[in-house]
Amino acid sequence: MAGSNLLFKVAATKSGTEWWLWFAAGNVVGFGCPVLITYALREESPQLVYAFTLGSGFVLLQLVAWWWFKAPVTGMQLGGLALTAVGLVMLQLGRA
């Protein structure tokens, strides 16, 4: 989902045919998300699947937006991202 959202952000900066190409790319990438989540739900518990897909996607999206799009991020926000990442690792290590 993070990749799809990033492609939509790029599309937002374009116009004309180029906008449509980036928009289409975002939708193609986004189509794979529910398909992959469905397969992941066959193998793992829902709370872990949703935590990893939404949590890691959120962290990835924030870091790429900061790095690629130069979105302003404060130290407090980076600390929150780090805590989120640590929480995801703890979920993985503590699974039953």
What are the residue boundaries of the structural domains of the chain, listed by start? 2-93
Mean pLDDT of the chain: 90
Low-confidence residues in the chain, pLDDT < 50 = none
DSSP 94: T
- pLDDT tens track for 51-66: 888 888 889 888 888 9
pLDDT at 96: 61
Q: What is the pLDDT of residues 32-42, one digit of tens each?
A: 888 888 999 99
Rounded CA gap, 40 and 33, in Å?
A: 10
Give me the half-sphere count of Cα atoms (radius 13 Å) on the Cβ side of residue 80: 9
